[in-house]
Amino acid sequence: MILTANSPVEIELEALNAFINRHYGLDFCHQRLELLQDAVQKRIEKCEITSVSEYLNLVRQRKDEALLLINLLTVNETYFFREPTHFDILTMDVIPGLIKNGGEYPFFRLLSAGCSTGEEAYSLAIAALGLPGAGVDWDFEIIGIDVDNEAIKKAQAGIYGLYSFRACTPDIRNTYFEQVSEEKFAVKRLVKEKVRFEPLNLFEQEYPDWIGGIDAIFYRNVSIYFSKEQREAVFRRLTGLLNHDGCLFLSCTETLYHNSKLMALIKSRKAFYYQKQNVDSTCRPKDVIEKLTEADNQSSIRLEKSKKSFASPIQKRPGRTVSPQKHCSFPAKKQLPLLDNKSDWCGQMLAGALELIKLKRSDEAIVQLDEILAVDVLFIKAYTVKANILLNQQNVDAANAVCHAALEIDTFCLEAYLILGMAAKVSEKLEEAIQRFKEAVYVYPEGWLAHFFLAQVYQLRDETFYAKREYEVAMNLLKQGNFENHGLSFFLVPFRQEDFIQLCQHNIAKMKD
């Protein structure tokens, strides 16, 4: 099959894509049409038919064939205790809260949505069984759902190879699994009896009654294949399954794609998750960042924040002292210059500061940025540009302090997370650098630079699996033309987009060798 614009093959593939999108939510339009073409070519050869139109008729008639195609189009890459921070939150925060508020004999239900071959669902059961009183003082049920019947059968069998255990300790494998062959391990009965698996398409308009009343949902690395509208539809239906105060976990690259007026975004133990709450509730958990609302509500959020005192935003953090010699003090608020409005004046001053930076007059630029903050303490760009300058001057502590001040105002300040990550990397605090770059990915999953920096840090730690993964993500984002969307106010490197792509390829090849 030769794919050219407006060719019969392209038209047929678009029709097939529309069918898959309508029934299963996957979208392979535009640049991703070639991925669909490759998968279809494999199935056409297997089915011994001659055209895409014939194959479209086949998938319309046979659901099993449609699912075989979807398996080729999606990556069923999963393993036990993937993204372990989420399991820390579950066992240290969520489950203890459910037990405390669950009455005389608490019972709760957890859902693995898009459970694939079952590793995530069994991980949830193992995490719960590891807590005191499980099955005696309180009890639970895990439900795993997936559209793929073959994946469900594998999950129900519960037999796994060594590769599925790559993120967990030998103790877990020895305690909760039985070795059935040299490299195969079966889930023990005490775990299996807590988990049930059911085939279910998340794109069903209505879910069956047995799936309601859920206390926590793990819905990770599933919605990356969906369009914006379909993400919203599935997210809304999953929210409807949750009990009040129920939690929903997504992967770091998916979290901020999902907004809901009924869901609050919580930051706990260096990760984010959603919690279902009443819109008018005045009771919020300590770590609630913001209740995510429509974009037009962002200004009102900032207005509420402006009522707080930010005269010395850095010194709000306990135990922190800041030296004025490090450019971390902020001038007292002064009278607004006689211009039409404050934002125009601040914008002009910021442009002037950026010009001073280009002329390598950084100290003068900092003075100008401090003048902006004296007029408008909520002008985020002044903080991040100042932090950029300080980091370039190797003034790491001061850069960190300014970034923290920015995050006090805007928790989703991408540039602050990037600079904090760069500062940690420079200081050889590699674990902290990983966390900061992960937070940058939360805020802006399409930002190639955060993935690139993550890859570099993982490579420094000899974690080649994660390093290669992040280099591949960065490379793919660059190939999509995202070079300018890196997230920093000024990114002073003498490299082009092609150079970074080649560097990613070089490092991946080097690690393979």
Identity of the residue numbered 125: A
Domain 314-512 coded CATH 1.25.40.10: yes
**CA–CA–CA angle 472, 388, 252 (5° rounding):** 35
Q: How many CB atoms lie within 10 A of CB 100?
A: 10
pLDDT of amino acid 36:
81
Chain CA centroid to CA 378, Å: 27
Tell me the residue type at 197: F
- The DSSP-derived string for 115-140 is -TTSHHHHHHHHHHHTSTTBTTTBEE
Q: CA torsion, points 315, 317, 322, 324, in degrees to nearest 10?
A: -30
Rounded CA separation 161/269 (Å)? 30
Q: Which among 130, 121, 120, 129 is positioned nearest to 83, based on CA atoms?
A: 120
Residue with tokens 């002292």: 321
Neighbours of 504 (CB within 10 A): 24
254: helix, strand or coil: coil
The helix (H) or strand (E) run that includes residue 109 is strand 107-113
Query: Please, where in the chain does CATH 3.40.50.150 lie?
Result: 84-293
**CB atoms inside a 10 Å sphere around CB 33:** 17
Segments in the chain below pLDDT 70: 1-6, 29-32, 74-77, 224-225, 252-253, 255-262, 278-341, 482, 489-495, 513
- Summarize pLDDT for 274-315 with one digit per residue, the tens: 999 754 433 333 333 333 333 233 323 332 333 232 222 323
DSSP, res 500: H
Provide the 3-class DSSP secondary structure of residue 429.
coil
Q: At what angle do helices 33-47 and 8-24 cross, to 10 degrees?
A: 90
Phi, psi for residue 144 in degrees, rounded to 5: -115, 130
User: Which segments of the chain belong to CATH 1.25.40.10?
Assistant: 314-512
Q: Which tokens sit at 110?
A: 């957890």
What is the spatial order of strands in the sheet that 139-146 belongs to?
195-199, 139-146, 107-113, 214-218, 242-249, 271-276, 263-268, 288-291
Q: Would you tell me which CATH number, out of the four given (1.10.1060.10, 3.10.20.30, 3.40.50.300, 3.40.50.150), belongs to the domain 84-293? A: 3.40.50.150
Distance separating alpha carbons of residues 354 and 459, to the nearest angstrom: 33
Q: Model-level pTM?
A: 0.54
User: DSSP letter string over 56-81?
Assistant: HHHHHH-HHHHHHHHHHHS-----TT
* CA pair distance 127, 141, nearest whole angstrom: 12
- Is residue 157 packed enough to be buried (19+ CB in 10 Å), middle (13-18) or exposed (0-12)? middle
Tokens for 513?
């060798």
Q: How far apart are CA 82 and CA 166, in angstroms?
A: 9
- Rounded Cα distance, 419 and 422, in Å: 5
Residue 335: per-residue pLDDT: 44
Which whole-number Å values give the CA distances from 345 to 229, 337, 372, in the listed order?
A: 39, 8, 8
Rounded Cα gap, residues 122 and 143, in angstroms:
10
pLDDT of residue 39: 83
